[in-house]
Amino acid sequence: MKKAVVLLSGGIDSATCCAIAKNEGFSVYALSFRYGQRHSYEITAAEKIAHHLSVIEHRVVGIDLRAFGGSSLTSDVAVPKNRKINKTEIPNTYVPARNTIFLSYALAWAEVIESRDVFIGVNAVDYSGYPDCRSDFIRAFEKMANLATKAGVEGEKTTIHTPLINLSKSEIIQKGISLGIDYSLTHSCYDPSPEGLACGFCDSCLIRKKGFEEAGIPDPTKYKINK
Amino acid sequence: MKKAVVLLSGGIDSATCCAIAKNEGFSVYALSFRYGQRHSYEITAAEKIAHHLSVIEHRVVGIDLRAFGGSSLTSDVAVPKNRKINKTEIPNTYVPARNTIFLSYALAWAEVIESRDVFIGVNAVDYSGYPDCRSDFIRAFEKMANLATKAGVEGEKTTIHTPLINLSKSEIIQKGISLGIDYSLTHSCYDPSPEGLACGFCDSCLIRKKGFEEAGIPDPTKYKINK
């Protein structure tokens, strides 16, 4: 079986991406990051999903993006709530160069385990307008990756797979349900309560809620009561 | 003054690159990594050079490339000695995706401090044949970087400067001497003694020694006696 490195954040998209890679016949090597995010519920969710989907190996690598700051997700700036989401304004939840850094680590691990396939659950439909979620970025990263590595120089092409890039959140959820994912294991909220309950009003909660509504599937998320 | 992020490893090339950035009028923000390398002499050297060149700020970020292994520099595999250096065979000192990861962090810091200039001292003349030291890779990274970031999307181009890429090691040394660098502060050896003395026989020592010889400049390196 061919090996694939799959970036697994613990949210709906990366869980679905992981299930798709597995369904396509890859041995899945899941990669998560402790990057100085405000809470650790993402990592707990990633661990649950990795177990749920029986991946071959799951690594959680510590990287300190708080060293630079520049985002409400890695500093003490407030996460915006009930924002009118649009694709032209990039919100303060944007973490500078985050996907570039994540994909670079995935590329490193892929080269070490002799995998030529990396999966990332970026999505350019129901998203917060982050530049590093767009197809142009991914294709440029892939081109760079094939010039960066020993494998690339030796003619072995690495592919960055983005199976969700053109799907809406509801389509992603429907796809995941068809592959047997238990979405109650996933975590999306940027600003959960100390007990890990979702706030219900950050971009990530708003997009998630709308996704379940449009898919006609009951939302398994535990929200805190917040009137 | 314009700000530049300069990758500073503690060797001849990055020290020279730092001095060039300063000489070109940039405020220098130097960035080094503790990446699980076998010894910490590189970091000590980077700190000395940062001080010597009076940079605005020097950050040392911890990243764990030992998590993946795949290189003699980040695992217990032996570093090759007295190798006949050629540009077609990539030695085991190659660290998968290292420059991609380093440049990704530089890009993140640059975006946070609103710098649009990153310097890296890669060199494609006297080098060990690493794929991520070549011009094609750097140009592909730059293109990707401008699609990855908020600044890039907003039309502010980031440039990856490689002032040493076409220079021989002796030309780099002559350039550095003309800019007042004290090369006794730098460290190149992949496999130093416990006291930090250079082995004299790894690729990095061989290239360094040849560089000083060809430049006609006394080599300030302290080698261990190793007959």
Every domain of chain A and the residues it spans: 3-188
Pick among 3.40.50.620, 3.30.70.120, 3.30.43.10, 3.90.79.10: CATH of A3-188? 3.40.50.620
Q: Does B134 touch chain A (CB under 8 A)?
A: yes
CA of A38, closest CA in chain B: separation in Å?
18
Q: Does B216 touch chain A (CB under 8 A)?
A: no
CB-CB: which of B98, B140, B152 is closest to A143? B140
Amino acid B226: pLDDT: 53
Amino acid A39: pLDDT: 76
More confident residue, B51 or B202: B51
Q: Does B220 touch chain A (CB under 8 A)?
A: no
pTM assigned to the model: 0.90
pLDDT tens digit sequence for B93-104: 778 888 999 999
Domain B3-187 belongs to what topology? Rossmann fold (3.40.50)
CB-CB: which of A105, A111, A137 is closest to B70? A111
CB–CB contact B108 A100 (8 Å): yes
CB-CB: which of B62, B136, B148 is closest to A132? B148
Cβ atoms B148, A131 nearer than 8 A: yes
pLDDT tens digit sequence for A140-191: 999 999 999 888 888 899 999 999 999 999 999 999 999 999 999 999 998 8
| pLDDT of A3 over the 90 cut | yes
How far is Cα A155 from Cα A145, in angstroms, rounded to an integer?
Answer: 12
CB–CB contact A108 B65 (8 Å): yes
Amino acid A226: pLDDT: 53
